[in-house]
């Protein structure tokens, strides 16, 4: 139906044209447009009320994953983007480090045969922490052999995170209630207010000196590289991975998730059941990967409020996820690697 001037549209004109009742709200109309998608019959037609559908002119993303070949069929424990490359670390195999410029083809590096567990990095170096009795950490460039540094007092480190964007190369590591700061290649114990609990994951919002660490029902935050801490309000929920984006912190764990808009008060979020192990933010979405053989991911397009489940088709447990240049990369057991472009 054509009208002389689109500026004279009334809401009832729109509801009638797209087949809704006369009592439908404007939100109902937008919901209908989103459900219906772009109607090419009205492309460029500015005098038709059905052109209302053109507000939703972008097709929904498919979120397809492409399986890649790892440097070795190791159990890759984590991945990050640092020193201009995606870098993954493993706890087995003869080459326990691999790197890639774009996540599609990987080159292996022979490093110390420790049980490498978690990794993080900055523009010049990648760091890795070791799980088990040989509780050291390594640092090197993207293709270096991960030089090992001083013993640390915890027997098994759980998480490592860059500390904001202070330019000093500082990182925070944690295990249980123990926290340490790595200044370049020197680890220093930093006290925090926790007396019980288990810190499992960490992230930064990029603010100088800032890092947030979470665990099951516990959390702490520093804004000055560990000199002082704030105790956080965290639900009694498994939290294994944590990421920041769009002003929101999102943590994921077994059969659940948490989120916070201020980095202090976290609330529970419903997600599909799964062993959600790691989460990353990029291109406006949060993506979490599953640490079981179903190899699923969940994706949130609304800052961690709602989640949709997708299959990577890897068929292996996914342990880590990273993002750079419109591409997510997941790594996992038995050489599992996959990428998704957004």
Q: What is the DSSP letter of 134?
A: S
Domain boundaries, the chain: 6-56, 66-341
pLDDT tens per residue, range 296-325 = 999 999 999 999 999 999 999 999 999 999
pLDDT band at 20 (very low <50, low <70, confident <90, very high): confident
CA–CA separation, 308 vs 296, rounded Å? 10
Statement: 66-341 belongs to CATH 2.130.10.10: yes
Q: What is the mean pLDDT of residues 143-147?
A: 97
Q: Which residues contact 57 (CB under 8 A, 6 or more apart)?
A: 38
pLDDT tens per residue, range 180-203 = 999 999 999 999 999 999 999 999
Residue 154 to residues 47, 127, 134, 186, 220, Cα–Cα distance (Å): 69, 17, 10, 15, 18
- pLDDT surpasses 70 at 264: yes
Residue 58 to residues 36, 39, 170, 187, 196, Cα–Cα distance (Å): 11, 11, 41, 49, 49
Give the burial class of 58: count Cβ atoms within 10 A of its Cβ; 0-12 exposed, 13-18 middle, 19 or more buried: exposed
- pLDDT surpasses 60 at 261: yes
Helix (H, G, I), strand (E, B) or coil at 242: strand
pLDDT of residue 26: 72
Query: The tokens 């993080």 sit on which residue?
Result: 120
CB atoms within 10 A of CB 144: 16
Q: Phi/psi zone of residue 196: left (φ > 0), alpha (ψ -120 to 50 degrees), beta? A: beta
Is 110:93 a contact under the CB 8 Å cutoff? no
Q: Which residues contact 7 (CB under 8 A, 6 or more apart)?
A: none
Q: What is the mean pLDDT of residues 276-287?
A: 98
0.75 cut: is pTM over it? Answer: yes
Q: Write out the two tokens for 65.
A: 């994953």
pLDDT tens per residue, range 36-74 = 554 555 445 444 444 554 544 455 678 999 999 999 999
Helical residues (DSSP H) of 76-196, grouped into ranges: none
Is residue 250 within a helix (H) or strand (E), and if so which, with residue range?
Answer: strand 248-253
């Amino acid at each position: 139906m054509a009208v002389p001037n689109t500026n004279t549209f009334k809401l009832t004109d729109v509801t009638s044209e797209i087949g809704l009742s006369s009592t439908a709200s404007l939100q109902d109309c937008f919901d209908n447009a989103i459900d219906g998608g772009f109607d090419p019959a009205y492309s460029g037609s500015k005098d038709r009320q059905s052109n209302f559908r053109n507000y939703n002119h972008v097709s929904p993303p498919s979120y397809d994953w492409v399986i890649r070949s790892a440097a070795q069929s190791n159990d890759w424990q984590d991945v990050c983007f640092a020193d201009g490359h995606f870098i993954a670390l493993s706890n087995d195999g003869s080459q326990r480090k691999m790197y890639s410029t774009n996540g599609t083809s990987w080159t292996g590096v022979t490093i110390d045969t420790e049980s490498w567990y978690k990794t993080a990095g900055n523009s010049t170096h990648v760091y890795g922490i070791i799980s088990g009795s040989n509780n050291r950490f390594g640092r090197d460039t993207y293709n270096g052999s991960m030089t090992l540094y001083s013993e640390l007092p915890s027997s098994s480190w759980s998480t490592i995170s860059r500390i904001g964007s202070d330019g000093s190369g500082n990182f925070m590591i944690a295990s249980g209630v123990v926290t340490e700061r790595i200044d370049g290649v020197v680890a220093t114990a930093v006290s925090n207010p926790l007396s019980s609990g288990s810190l499992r994951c960490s992230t930064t919002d990029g603010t100088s000196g800032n890092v947030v660490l979470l665990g099951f029902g516990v959390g702490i935050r520093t804004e000055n590289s560990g000199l002082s801490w704030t105790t956080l309000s965290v639900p009694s929920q498994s939290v294994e991975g944590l990421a920041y984006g769009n002003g929101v912190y999102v943590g994921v764990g077994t059969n659940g998730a948490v989120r916070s808009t201020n980095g202090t008060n976290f609330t529970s979020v419903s997600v599909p059941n799964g062993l959600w192990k790691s989460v990353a933010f990029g291109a406006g979405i949060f993506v979490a990967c599953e640490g079981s053989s179903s190899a699923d991911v969940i994706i949130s397009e609304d800052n961690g409020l709602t989640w949709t489940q997708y299959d990577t088709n890897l068929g292996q447990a996914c342990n880590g996820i990273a993002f750079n240049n419109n591409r997510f990369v997941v790594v996992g057991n038995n050489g599992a690697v996959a990428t998704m472009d957004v």
